[in-house]
Structure 1
């Protein structure tokens, strides 16, 4: 190896270590790029027909509504020289950006009533459902509701839950609670003793497993996707953990691209990451029930209820990209598009730094027929209802 290359390699190995004074550390503590999260809300066009006749749900996406996120530095950053790790928490915050949005936080949408949809899923006892039905009626709640963007994302007091006679959280929102919360504690390898482990997560919230999934699906693998160990080969599968989807996932090499004069490798989330166990046996432990999943043959959605206190939350790619027909057919108005809706990471291969990314995912809620709940009693099928999709980007 030429002397120049040896020097470059030595410099890289020094500068990607996560400790005070390195280039990597400075950008790691507080991202040097602006990160935006754009939301598109699925506005339901035919709520009355759905409630009365169990029609297909017609949706129209509205957006983007844009927030600046990840602008807060990591906190409680603590080095452990014994095991060559650094621990931290990542504070959450979101600032609305009117100039990058189609409207205001007060724009209103017709969306699924999150509390009404979740109630029979969480409380399956007939007697309890009869009681809940009386509270739903008393609060004048239905299967659908009108909410502002701000309420839907960050939380509102739910009128039905406010009548429940025992202490429960009465605030509901897709991302509630978010502002002024933290993600973590993360403990990651700093790379000081072994550069091939730099940024790889050792533990999350003090554990190496999530306790949401059976078998190896429960493992916390890889980094947080902001960077990877250096000298990235095209053949490498980049593993990373995302607390948003309550699992580890991976990206594979897609193409070489030029980013502002810098050659980078674009790694993409492959369709088989969300495939059914029939298509990809490795995914068998992500299928945790047989009814909604049609005996684990449905694909393109992930049931993350265990990670959301039993609520019927399903994650997918936007517009049900790469999802099975049984999932997407009851919803009209979706236009899945690989270019707009896939997730990718642009990684500089020598340093392993992610220079640009687009994390795209959709939040859906399962709603099922419930004979004892009038708002849901006419439903003849299960619906996985899209609430919104998001595109989180950093460049």
Structure 2
């Protein structure tokens, strides 16, 4: 009887030890299995989960616009008064809904090339008005002319054509005209070979961005989605030194196993440069734990504040010999047109930049740029506020826009089930096996020792 009891206790202890050991072994083995699966599925080649989502994004991406309506155009034109603006928006368009085209794998260097078609569909339900809403804004053609043609004789000719076309420094146009283009009466009179269509994003629809060539990750998973070349080049030919380099991904995704210490680098053709984001916090997005990375103010600082930005300073008037900050001259990549960018409401810009404008209210929560990244699988679950403003020297702002791609409820549920849910379940199984095993082993061993001690007496 005593032997049976002792044997049972020893058997229970052995089972507990086996469970504990199995749970302990499952931890590194499970992590290896997860890592191996992710490495297989994030490669950008036919048949993987990543490739399917990469070709055509499963997340709806919106581009939202806020227009700064000038309230006192006559005062500004006549007396150079302070510009009073009123922000109106958002006006929302669905973008990035078209699949990548001309996808070509190159096994020699483990890359895949493609172009991204551009298209925009107006979304009335997510907008405060219609595309026909009118705004008083800077006349882009009139403002740009003296900066493109600096010869005094040519400027005299242009001034006469401006008067003849009855154009002025300000104009009233519909949202659709401002964004996607309109025939300008002044440019229609210019005898030079120049496009007569003007628009902040003209041309956009039915155009493509690229050709991009990115690493597919087959040879090195840490390079997946990182851009090798853009339009056949590794540099942009816009900036001096390292500022001209094309770094990182296109911000739609990043290599897997993102760590908080990593700096996320990405290139945007809209802003004609590569830029970066740093870790800020952990966020729960619809049940998915993600890392939030933000664009730091240092990325927009003057060379006096951040010496690394010295090669972005090219324009000596807007930057006051590189002492002002928060505004970037991208005219060189816009065919020489006077175009500048900043964050909305001149967030992170020096006070002198916004001084001539009344009606701005920079706010960190509303106007910053951030990216939410699922750290294990590399998927970008939320892309907010890749923002841009169109500027001129005299009238310094027209509009701002943001790209917003937030994971939908259905996609979030699928992601939780297929990725985070399974990872959590495996972790739970590991902890249960380890915990139950240890408890069983300790309990049965204590009982066994107690029985032996009692029988010994």
TM range (shorter): over 0.9
- Aligned with 1:256 (options 282, 287, 291): 282
Point out where structure 2 has 5 or more consecutive residues left out of the alignment. Answer: 1-26, 407-457
Alpha-carbon displacement from aligned partner over 1:342-392 (angstroms, at most 9, x marks no partner): 11100010111111110242322213xxxxxxxxxxxxxxx3511111121
Partner of 2:17: none
Please point out which of 143, 146, 150 is paired with 2:172: 146
Match of 2:425 in 1: none
1:278 counterpart = 2:289: no
Q: Is 2:21 aligned against 1:10?
A: no
Instruction: Indicate how the Cα distance of structure 1 residues 384 and 326 shifts in structure 2: closer, same or farther if over 3 A, else same.
Output: farther
Match of 1:24 in 2: 50
State whether structure 2 residue 73 is matched by structure 1 residue 47.
yes
1:4-58 Cα shifts (integer Å, max 9, x gaps): 1111110011011000011110100000011111101000000000011111110
- Separation (CA, whole Å) in 1 of partners of 2:108 and 2:211: 18
Determine if the alignment matches structure 1 residue 80 to structure 2 residue 75: no
Q: Which residue of 2 aligns with 1:340?
A: 366
- Runs of 4 or more consecutive aligned structure 1 residues displaced over 4 Å after TM superposition: none
**Structure-1 separation of matches of 2:52 and 2:212:** 17
| Partner in structure 1 of residue 401 of structure 2 | 390
Q: TM-score, normalised by structure 1?
A: 0.95
Q: Distance in 1 between matches of 2:208 and 2:48?
A: 25
Quote the residue 1:98 is aligned against: 124
Which residue is 1:287 aligned to?
313
Distance 2:373 2:220 in 1: 20
Matches within 5 A, 1:162-201: 162-201=188-227
Question: What is the deviation of 1:109?
Answer: 0.3
Query: Residue 166 of structure 1 aligns to a residue in which SS?
Result: coil
Pick the aligned partner of 1:59 from 82, 85, 97. Answer: 85
Corresponding position: 1:211 with 2:237: yes
**Bigger Rg, which one:** 2
1:285-364 aligned within 5 A = 285-364=311-390
Q: Secondary structure at the match of 2:289?
A: strand
Name the CA shift for 1:322/1:389 in 2 (closer, same or farther; >3 Å). Answer: same
Supply the distance in 2 between the matched residues of 1:327 and 1:389 (Cα, whole angstroms).
Answer: 16
Please give the alpha-carbon distance, in whole angstroms, between the structure 1 residues aligned to 2:308 and 2:119: 35
Contact 1:70–1:93 (Cα < 8 Å) also in 2: yes
**For 1:134-162, what per-residue CA distance to the aligned partner results, in whole angstroms no more than 9, with x for missing partners?**
00000000000000000000000000000
Within 1, Cα distance between the matches of 2:84 and 2:253?
Answer: 40
Distance between the aligned counterparts of 1:102 and 1:171, measured in 2? 27
Q: Is the 8 A contact 1:41 1:63 kept in 2?
A: yes
Quote the offset at 1:339 in angstroms: 0.6
CA contact (8 A) 1:327 1:384 kept: no
| Residues in 2 aligned to 1:202 and 1:384: alpha-carbon distance in whole angstroms | 38
Partner of residue 119 from structure 1, selected from 139, 145, 153 = 145
Q: Which has the higher contact order (CA 8 A, sep 6+)?
A: 2
> Deviations 1:270-323 (Å, cap 9, x if unpaired)?
011011101100000000122221010110111000011111111100011111
SS at match of 2:398: strand
Q: CA RMSD in A?
A: 0.8
When you count helix as a share of all residues, which structure comes out higher?
Answer: 2
- Of the three residues 261, 264, 280, the one matched with 1:235 is 261
